[in-house]
Each structure stands twice: as structure tokens, then as C-alpha cells.
Amino acid sequence: MKFFVDTADVAEIRALAESGLVDGVTTNPSLIAKSGRKMSEVIAEICAITEGPVSAEVTATDFAGMLAEGKYLRGIAKNVAVKVPLTEAGLRTCRALSQEGTPVNVTLCFSAAQALLAAKAGAAFISPFVGRLDDIAHDGMTLIGDIVQIYRNYPGIKTEVLVASVRHPVHLVQSAKLGAHVATLPPAVIRQLLKHPLTDSGLSAFLADWAKTGQSIL
């Protein structure tokens, strides 16, 4: 399973990349706004850190505007994946860009039917938002299972399921069990994945016993 980092914080991405935990990055207009920086500069810096796909989202809502923005964003670096919302204009843009060889991430997916449409439009990634579904008392993981099953039924579909709006480690583990291709994780969730109290207490005990030996390895 691939791990993408869901942030526009360049320092966070750089730190996680040094541990080999970054297969790609996703951003959205809210994350760019939070960074307080110019979008093109942030995307260029992120693309220099990872060779994996870096999602940069259009903000136009009409086909011509989305297409123009998508081409501009793709021009920033060869590993930009253009992100479009799951609207009719977004799917049209997805098809046009995909036919030119640009990978497209179709975002704001909340149903299996929407995911099927994105696949037909040639999306490289579909981003179902599990946390936002959970927030309104729908089971986000049921949606992941449904999309994975539907895509598997049709081997011609090459779209990867990119689990988005991940809020905690259980979302990641369940996504992996269901066979999702990718999860995009906020840096805080990646750090939560790392932690286990038995790792901490076990390491303390080993180091205490080692100190009693008076040895040093080097």
C-alpha cells in the first residue's frame, strides 16, 4: 500500500520523506491556504522532495477554466497530478487531461456510483473521503470496500483507490485490509501509526539492562 502525505507543509514532507514514508503528496485549496504561501511555489518545492505524484487542485468550476488551470499546474513539474472535483465539468476535465497523459485525481467522492464515473473518465486516482462520511454518521469504510470490489470486478479499470480524509490509524489499517491502493495521511496520523506503548516500555527495559553491563558497542 502506498502512503501519500496530506499536507502543504514542506518541512513536514521533507522530514517524513527522510524516513521513506512518502510515496506521494496530496494538497487541496484549504491546505494551501493554511500554508500561507503561493501555490505554485509550494507545489514546486514538494515536487522536488518526492518523485511520487503530487496532487494540486484546480479551483475553477467550469470546464475551460479547469482545463487551463490543470495544464498550468501540470507545467510546474512532471510529477504533478491534477486534482479535480467530482462534478460533470470535473469529469470532462479528467477525461481531457488523462487523454493527454496527465494523471488526474478525482476528489470529493462520497459514493460508489461517483467512483465508477471517475474510472470511466480515466482518473488515475479516486479520492473517497472517509472521515467526512463518518462525521455525518455514514460508514466511510463501507464505501472503500464497495469501490475496491467494483473496480476489481472490471480489470480494465486502472484507477487507484486513494483513501482520503483519514482521521486516525484505524482508518489506515481497515483501508489496507480492504485492499485500497493508497491512503493519504495527515502527518499527525503517520506519527500515531508509529507509536505503541509496548515498544516504548520494551526499549526502556532493554536500555536499562544494557546500562548494567557497562559495555558500549562502538
Binding site for ligand E4P (CB under 6 A): 6, 26, 28, 107, 127, 129, 131-132, 164-165, 184
- Taking the complex as a whole, the smallest distance from the CB of residue 172 to ligand E4P amounts, in Å, to 12
Q: What's the CA gap between 10 and 173, in Å, rounded? A: 26
Options 71, 83, 120, 158, the catalytic residue = 83
CB nearer to ligand E4P: give 36 or 214.
36
- Taking the complex as a whole, the smallest distance from the CB of residue 217 to ligand E4P amounts, in Å, to 42
- Taking the complex as a whole, the smallest distance from the CB of residue 9 to ligand E4P amounts, in Å, to 14
Q: Are 187 and 7 in contact (CB under 8 A)?
A: yes
Q: What's the CA gap between 105 and 101, in Å, rounded? A: 13
CB nearer to ligand E4P: give 31 or 49.
31
Q: And the C-alpha cell for 143?
A: 464505501
Give the Cβ contact number of residue 29 at 10 Å. 14
Q: Residue 60's Cα: distance from chain center in Å?
A: 21
CB nearer to ligand E4P: give 74 or 83.
83
Give the ranges where 37-111 is alpha helix by DSSP (H): 39-49, 63-76, 88-99
Q: And the C-alpha cell for 195?
A: 507509536
Judge whether 78 counts as a catalytic residue: no
Chain residue whose CB lies nearest ligand E4P: 165
Q: Residue 1: which of 187, 163, 140, 112 has the closest Cα? A: 163
CB nearer to ligand E4P: give 138 or 206.
138
- Taking the complex as a whole, the smallest distance from the CB of residue 160 to ligand E4P amounts, in Å, to 13
- Taking the complex as a whole, the smallest distance from the CB of residue 199 to ligand E4P amounts, in Å, to 27
Distances (CA, A) of 209 to 21, 192, 200, 217: 32, 28, 15, 14
Output the DSSP codes for 10-55.
Answer: HHHHHHHHHTT--SEEE--HHHHHHHTS-HHHHHHHHHHH-SS-EE
CB nearer to ligand E4P: give 170 or 205.
170
Annotated catalytic residues are 83
